[in-house]
Structure 1
Amino acid sequence: MNVPILENERVKLTLLDLSNYKLLSEIAQQPNLVQYSPSKIDTTEDLKNYVQTAIDGYYHNNTMPFIIFDKAQQAYAGSTRFGLIDVVNKVLHIGWTWIGKQFQGTGLNKNIKFLMLQYAFEDLQYDKVEFRIDERNVRSRKAVENIGATLEGILRKDKLMLDGFKRSTCCYGILKEEWLQIKKTIFLNFY
């Protein structure tokens, strides 16, 4: 499974791997960047382990990790991935997304999500895209709601966080049948 280059005028997504992850070292050290994630990325070793896990998933055909390049700021901004790729049921997740604070609220994330959704539905021909978000992460929940995702339920106390807190996870989804309308309305200016 090859990782495509996903690109528009604003952003370029390419394979995140052990040859380029250090480009994200400074961003990964920003405080509370992955506050709602069970992952640790704030040291070089932690970031390397995070990327190695993503690459291992890539070689097992269940993840596609991307490094994010913001063309507007001409800088590497963070990381995202397709994960839990289920080729039989044609369902995958978009997640593991983190971008530096200087890139947040600039429209970058919406461009990223558009490219990923378009690829999942139009190129891969998947039937559903899911998002899993910590119930406390109001900003990320609003972001996926703003791109047309539907809250399908909450998995109560399903994920152990690094600080010992047991989080509840909100499950959102977009169906293939909903994509065209979302594309024509929410993402009207993106193609």
Structure 2
Amino acid sequence: MTIPTLENNRVKLTLLGMSNYKHLIAIAQQPNLVYYSPSKIDTPEALKTYVQTAIDDYYHKTSIPFVVFDKLTETYAGCTRFGLINWHNKVLHIGWTWIGTEFQGSGLNMNMKFLMLQYAFETLKFDKVEFRVDERNIKSRKAVEKIGAKLEGILRKDTLMLDGFKRSTCCYGMLKEEWDGIKSEVFSGW
């Protein structure tokens, strides 16, 4: 599997690994950064385990994890990944995204999602991209809807959270045949 670097004038996404994850330790310790995620990242040990899992999935060809570098501020901002990659059915998920609070609402995430969607549809030639979002996470749900993904359904009480809560997960999708329209309507004006 080739290791892509996805980049535009705002953001650079490079392969997340043990050589660069330490740039994210301070960001990962921000309170409630992954409140709606079943992942634990708020200690250096937990973050290392999180990254090791992403790397293991990469070597099994089911994930491509990225470290996010904000070119505007010249700092590392967080991470994101392609996951649950199904090469046969040409479907993958975009998620596991967290960026520091100082980057939220800055347009960084929009740039990340554009590069990832463009790569998924135009380079990998995948047929569908999916997003999974905690039903309670209205901010992330609106962000996914803003980029043109459609709500396909809700998996009721399907994910056990760290605090014992059983969340319901909203499943969003975008099809390859929708991408050109979304690219010109959603991403052309920013």
| TM bin (shorter chain) | over 0.9
Q: Identify the residue that residue 74 of structure 1 maps to in structure 2.
A: 74
Opposite residue 118 of structure 2, the aligned amino acid is: Q
1:183 partnered with 2:178: no
Task: Give the C-alpha shift of residue 2 in structure 1.
Answer: 2.1
Matches of 1:62 and 1:32 in 2, distance apart? 27
Report the TM-score when normalising by structure 2. Answer: 0.99
SS at match of 1:179: helix
SS at match of 2:33: coil
Q: Identify the residue that residue 106 of structure 2 maps to in structure 1.
A: 106
1:1-191 correspondence to structure 2 within 5 Å: 1-189=1-189
Matches of 1:48 and 1:113 in 2, distance apart? 24
Task: Give the C-alpha shift of residue 15 in structure 1.
Answer: 0.3
Matches of 1:149 and 1:45 in 2, distance apart? 34
What's the RMSD between the two structures over aligned residues?
0.6
SS at match of 1:26: helix
Matches of 1:7 and 1:151 in 2, distance apart? 28
Report the TM-score when normalising by structure 1. Answer: 0.99
Q: Note the alpha carbon deviations across 1:133-154, whole angstroms, 9 max, x for none.
A: 0000000000000000000000
Moved over 4 A (4+): none
Matches of 1:2 and 1:96 in 2, distance apart? 20
Task: Give the C-alpha shift of residue 42 in structure 1.
Answer: 0.3
Matches of 1:3 and 1:51 in 2, distance apart? 16
Matches of 1:180 and 1:49 in 2, distance apart? 38
SS at match of 1:188: coil
Matches of 1:60 and 1:2 in 2, distance apart? 13
Q: Which runs of 5+ in 2 are unaligned?
A: none
Matches of 2:28 and 2:51 in 1, distance apart? 12
Task: Give the C-alpha shift of residue 123 in structure 1.
Answer: 0.2
Opposite residue 96 of structure 1, the aligned amino acid is: W
SS at match of 2:172: strand
Q: Which runs of 5+ in 1 are unaligned?
A: none
Opposite residue 182 of structure 2, the aligned amino acid is: I
Q: How many residues align?
A: 190
Task: Give the C-alpha shift of residue 45 in structure 1.
Answer: 0.2
